[in-house]
Structure 1
Amino acid sequence: MSTPLTSTLKPAHTHRKWSDGLLLVVTLLALWQVASSLLGADVLPGPWLTFLKLKSIMSDEDFPENLRVTSVAFALGCAISSVGGVCLGLVLGARRLAGDIVEPILMAFYAIPKITLYPVVLLMFGLGLYAKVTFGVIHGIIPITIFTMSAVRSMRPVFARAARACRLSPLAYARYVLLPAAVPEVLAGLRIGFSLTLLGTLIGEMFASQSGIGHMLMIAMGRNDSQTIMALASLLFIFATAVNLALLNWHQRLIKAS
């Protein structure tokens, strides 16, 4: 039940949160401009030059197609990483023996530099969509699996006893007990998996594609075009930050509700 005091505090807290965020953005832009002045615009373009270059890139006739290619590959990779990671984490978390065996293997696989796997993926899938999706999934699925598995393991034992008393099927147990109990931690894993899947997709486009944002970055790097590099990096940074803030807000609401 809300009181007049809490109703007054909520708008004040929201206003402070937005003002702090605005102050952070202004500070980062100021530091960026100072660094650009010290290093030179050829090495590090300033915010205004980067914005103008980004505007020019987005108005180019080839940009929508490159954006579509990256979006499709990333969406597929993110969906496979999320669904596969959550399902695998639920199974490994519920089956403790299997989880104890598989977890060190997953961690060892995740520690392997992904660049060593690129030749294998390229031989399997060639240049194209499937290789980029595979790169994204390789990066994103393991963190989601680990977070989900840890959430299930930390679940209160009374939930499992109640499910056995109600004679729930394994699918019903996962749907109505495991997943709702693990949702806050699963969202934390999804936040990390989202960022890593995006990273893997872009790296895949650099090495295994002839189109997409990653391919544009690779061309700009070959030409030493710092303005294009900063413009595309800023676009990706804004997108990743916006999605992560949305997931963080959802995560915090679930924690407060639980």
Structure 2
Amino acid sequence: MNRAARWRLALVVLFVAALEFASRRAWIDPVSFIPPSKMAEGAWTLLASGDYTRDILQTLANATLAVVLAVTGGFAFGVALFKLPRVRRVIDPLLLSYYAVPIFVVYPVLIVIFGLNRWPLVAIGFLFGVVAMAANTLNGLERVPRVLLRSARAMRMSPLDEIRLITLPSSLPFVFTGIKLTVVYAFIAVIAGEFVLAGSGFGFRIAYAYNNFDNPTMYGLMLLLLIFVGTLNMLLHMAEMRLYSRTRRKTT
């Protein structure tokens, strides 16, 4: 663990300790907020009871499916825009203003199209993440050094070797940024959709606990969600750093 990571960890621990102290001293309204230690206790109780396992797995499955579709579709869309500059000039203004429009306005339409099941949630997660992936893929492809592409053609590399040895390593930082953003956006969209209109899932259970003033359950579920998404982002970051180090070793 490097120095920056140690400082980040120390800040997180300090922040949690401050919340624990303030809530124990009732500086924060105890009706609406509970100490972090009780949140952890509630999260463990939820996992041990098994009552929420089906809802948790359902949300994770929907969000994972949305991430896979958004990453795949966004990558293909970004490559297509890179290969078709005229189409890109037409779509560029739409991409720039995409997140200015609240995507959730189409959620009722998705329910009408797909029905009251998992697919509107998957679709809203896909719509939330696909453009972030496409934009970052396009930015990465634009930053591939042209001299390397000319060298590849001069050495008569096959298209597969050109992609494997030049295009992907050069655009990797932007592609990984797109993947991380897609993960976050898809989880936000799926869980928010469960808040709005769903009969099960992570978001539904959190909203149900909130409406019934069940703070241990609500904060326990929120803590489990935070731990899962944080762990997933950490694993993506570790994979990203590993790929970077491997790429540097190949180029030196």
> Into which bin does the TM-score normalised by the smaller protein fall?
0.7 to 0.9
> Relative to 1, partners in 2 of residues 1:125 and 1:172: Cα closer, same or farther, differing over 3 Å?
farther
Cα distance change on mapping 1:163 and 1:21 into 2, 3 Å: same
Match of 1:138 in 2: 127
Report the secondary structure of 1:38's partner residue.
Answer: coil
The one-letter code matched in structure 1 to 2:19 is W
Partner of 1:8: none
Contact 1:148 1:189 in 2 (8 A): yes
Aligned partner letter, 2:12: V
Pairing of 1:114-193 with structure 2 (within 5 A): 114-162=103-151, 164-165=153-154, 166=156, 168=158, 174=163, 177-193=166-182
Which of the numbers 196, 204, 223 marks the counterpart of 2:185?
Answer: 196
- Structure 1 residue 75 corresponds to structure 2 residue 64: yes
Return the offset for 1:232.
1.4
The one of 10, 14, 20 equivalent to 1:33 is 20
Does the alignment pair 1:50 with 2:69? no
Distance 1:40 1:131 in 2: 37
Deviation of 1:176 after TM superposition, in Å, equals: 5.6
Pairing 1:64-103 to 2, within 5 Å after superposition: 64-103=53-92
Matched residue count = 244
Q: Which residue of 2 aligns with 1:7?
A: none
- RMSD after superposition: 2.3
String of CA shifts for 1:139-179, please: whole Å, max 9, x gaps: 1111111111011111111243345553755x776566433
Aligned AA (1:86): F
Q: Distance in 1 between matches of 2:182 and 2:210?
A: 26
- AA matched with 2:223: S
Is 2:221 aligned against 1:248? no
1:11 corresponds to which residue?
none
Quickly say closer, same or farther: Cα 1:173–1:206, change in 2 above 3 A: farther
Q: Which moved more, 1:224-233 or 1:186-195?
A: 224-233
Task: State whether residues 92 and 99 of structure 1, in contact with CA within 8 Å, keep that contact through their aligned partners in structure 2.
Answer: yes
Task: Write the distance in 2 (CA, Å) between the matches of 1:177 and 1:18.
Answer: 31
How far apart in 2 are the matches of 1:136 and 1:168?
A: 36
The secondary structure found in structure 2 opposite 1:100 is helix
TM-score (norm 2): 0.86
Matches of 2:228 and 2:19, distance apart in 1:
19
1:222 paired with 2:211, answer: yes
Q: CA deviation at 1:249?
A: 2.9
* Alpha-carbon distance between aligned partners in 2 of 1:64 and 1:105, rounded to the nearest angstrom: 40
1:24 paired to 2:2: no
Question: Would you say the 8 A contact 1:122–1:208 is kept in 2?
Answer: no
Structure 2 letter corresponding to 1:116: V
Q: Which amino acid aligns with 1:28?
A: F
**CA spacing shift, 1:175–1:98, aligned 2, 3 Å:** farther
SS in 2 for 1:210: coil
**Structure 2 unaligned spans of 5+:** none
